[in-house]
Structure 1
């Protein structure tokens, strides 16, 4: 799961500095010891840049395993809603605890394709409906759950968010006993591969913000973020400075926080000053040294692909 700052994030339109990936080996992506650097400090920026290099190396490793890399959470999804009488099945289905009532279809063909709107295609092996069903539960905890019954399966397609934008892939659609809700799961074998997050303490992540999505305008990346309504010149506000660390296959985007640092506002006697944590849609711009040209955009907090916006 992507880790968020307490203030989700606000950004202003700043032309961030673009940098290329250094040739030195990446570090561990976190400090060895000591206090956490303050937001907006040089130490925080150094940690973010170091983590960006680790993220690029991890993405290269994932790409070497599979040509299809999904945005987290795209392998499966539920279609339709559970009826009120079936609400008790929510946890079971969400955890992929499903079992077939009988024999499920095998793979109807050896290969299937992931297809992008640009016409780009990647061919991968297709798995059987039974194998897809078994993979639904992998990595999901559901202590004490009693598996629910699958009555049928058919091969169809589903649209998924990948490291190179939205693509259409083969998928198994499972019909569930006693409910109109169905479950979709990608039917590709050797992919999709996910990107490993940087090693270390998952709670020890450099201060910053992960973009929600991005769009491309020439060499500029327009990053969509969520944060406070005001800039750093106002109490409770923050500014953000984006920067890109560029690699051959991907671009790691870091967004440094610059919070309000002025005096606390005056308040009526007997009351305390505080901020309301309400998120607002914001955009920030970073300019690359070269066009994106099919490279993947990664956030540095967890090292995962940032979805390409079609709007």
Structure 2
């Protein structure tokens, strides 16, 4: 679901040119053509500075996970809240036995230590829901007695329904593999698949032991600040062959949001261009999904943010 999500809200008005991007109006770029030229120059610097270690090509560096959905879960507000919060309860024994397995990359295979289903479940389960006085006993039912008042990201708001604080029910667990984007492209990674009564598809928890997961390398950003009029990429919402859905971090009053991409055979750099508001604007950073089409399928190329130079991961799903 490609919806902008609020990351930061401050009770503060900013004048034009000072959107919530982490930099001030340095080297402001006013025209669309100027933004493209400034982006290309910086993207080339980011690509030249990208020097990952050997683990990037020989180890296991996941760029998403470790909890994944294997299909459309058919979320309701209740079940999505439980999934995002990690609320689970089990109705079946979770086996503690460890199994063997390997990761299958397009360029080879890698055998790594795995965790048991019981260990994976302990990582998956983040505790029980907090008590919710007055909330419905079953998910999805409106609260008797009319509207209620609920705290939200922008303060207190009136609502006619509430989300039940209920956990997801584990009714089975099997061992399998799921596709995961890694530093070596999409790989088939061992995972424990938990069947959930309330969802239409299992929840996968990657089974690779944490000690076997290589860290994403630290980026090297250009010394100069990001020119005003350019914005950073926060993460990848989706990758479909040569089409990338990127989430940009933009200001609340930014307009003319335009995705920008620079690529060469070994790396892709993404970001965006915006037109800043001329008046006052609340300091609010939003995630804006945009789509870019590459000249060639992405394959195993890293996608780097034009601001930090960091490789982008797939957003939680």
TM-score, length-scaled by structure 1: 0.52
Shift of 1:91: 0.9
Which runs of no fewer than 5 residues in structure 2 stay unpaired? 5-20, 132-164, 248-255, 276-287
Distance 1:107 1:120, change over 3 A: farther
Equivalent in the alignment of 1:128: 116
Which residue among 250, 259, 269 is the counterpart of 1:253? 269
In the TM superposition, what are the counterparts of 1:137-156 in structure 2 within 5 Å? 147-156=167-176
Matched residue SS, 2:53 = helix
Contact 1:242-1:256 at 8 Å conserved across structures = no
Distance 1:196 1:37, change over 3 A: farther
Distance 1:146 1:196, change over 3 A: farther
1:71 aligns with 2:63: yes
Shift of 1:74: 6.0
Distance 1:149 1:155, change over 3 A: same
Equivalent in the alignment of 2:311: 304
Shift of 1:120: 1.0
Matched residue SS, 1:188 = coil
CA distance in 2, matches of 1:105, 1:256: 47
CA distance in 2, matches of 1:214, 1:89: 27
Which residue among 195, 198, 208 is the counterpart of 2:216? 195
Which residue among 81, 84, 108 is the counterpart of 1:94? 84
Distance 1:254 1:121, change over 3 A: same
Distance 1:237 1:71, change over 3 A: closer
Equivalent in the alignment of 2:18: none
In the TM superposition, what are the counterparts of 1:193-272 in structure 2 within 5 Å? 193=214, 195=216, 207=230, 213=239, 240=260, 242-244=262-264, 251=267, 253-254=269-270, 257=273
Which residue among 283, 293, 307 is the counterpart of 1:283? 293
Contact 1:162-1:305 at 8 Å conserved across structures = no
1:60 aligns with 2:48: no
Contact 1:74-1:161 at 8 Å conserved across structures = no
CA distance in 2, matches of 1:83, 1:240: 33
CA distance in 1, matches of 2:75, 2:38: 52
CA distance in 2, matches of 1:239, 1:166: 24
Residue deviations 1:248-277 (CA, integer Å, cap 9, x gap): xx63535675x89xxxxxxxxxxxxxxxxx
More strand, by proportion: 2
Distance 1:114 1:182, change over 3 A: same
Shift of 1:104: 1.0
CA distance in 1, matches of 2:239, 2:75: 33
Q: How many residue pairs were aligned?
A: 230
Distance 1:214 1:115, change over 3 A: same
Contact 2:91-2:169 at 8 Å conserved across structures = yes
CA distance in 2, matches of 1:108, 1:33: 49
Distance 1:305 1:43, change over 3 A: closer
Distance 1:135 1:279, change over 3 A: closer
CA distance in 2, matches of 1:72, 1:38: 34
Contact 2:67-2:203 at 8 Å conserved across structures = no
TM-score, length-scaled by structure 2: 0.51
Which runs of no fewer than 5 residues in structure 1 stay unpaired? 5-30, 216-221, 228-235, 261-277, 287-291
CA distance in 2, matches of 1:282, 1:82: 28
CA distance in 1, matches of 2:55, 2:166: 34
